[in-house]
Amino acid sequence: IVASHFNPEFLVNVKETGQIKLVDYSDLTNLKITNVAAARFLHDGGFDASGRYFLVAANASNKVAIVDTKENKLVGLVETGPTPHPGRGANFIHPKFGPVWATSHLGDETIVLIGTDPKKHPKQAW
């Protein structure tokens, strides 16, 4: 569970279903829940450096889902190697590809970098 930096919302991973629930808590009596389909076995993740994009590993599906928390939609589903396991991930500026988010994998030395700047580096984003 993480909180959006743009909206009064929590993002909740429902691991086995592959659903990310966006829970709008602006009216506590009438919670509004938006379902975002991603990939099964959502595990952990974190935000890109801008705080706009939430990247979460679906580790048994070997994918990372990217949710735009400003627009409330899935913007990417990236294939990775076996068992991505980012914790919250790492953000840094790559000299060639611009802003990236990185994850390691369980059981090997693989590191995956996912570009997180669709405006200035569209070819590298997701």
Cα–Cα nearest to 101, from 82, 80, 73, 72: 80
Q: How does pLDDT run across 15-67, given as a tens digit for each residue? A: 999 999 999 999 999 999 999 999 999 999 999 999 999 999 999 999 999 99
Q: How does pLDDT run across 102-121, given as a tens digit for each residue? A: 999 999 999 999 999 999 99
Q: Give the type of residue at 25.
A: Y
pLDDT of 53: 98
Q: What is the residue-wise DSSP string for 21-77?
A: EEEE-SSTTS-EEEEEE--SSEEEEEE-TTSSEEEEEETTTTEEEEEETTTTEEEEE
Q: How does pLDDT run across 11-23, given as a tens digit for each residue? A: 999 999 999 999 9
User: Is there a contact between 113 and 104 (Cβ–Cβ < 8 Å)?
Assistant: no
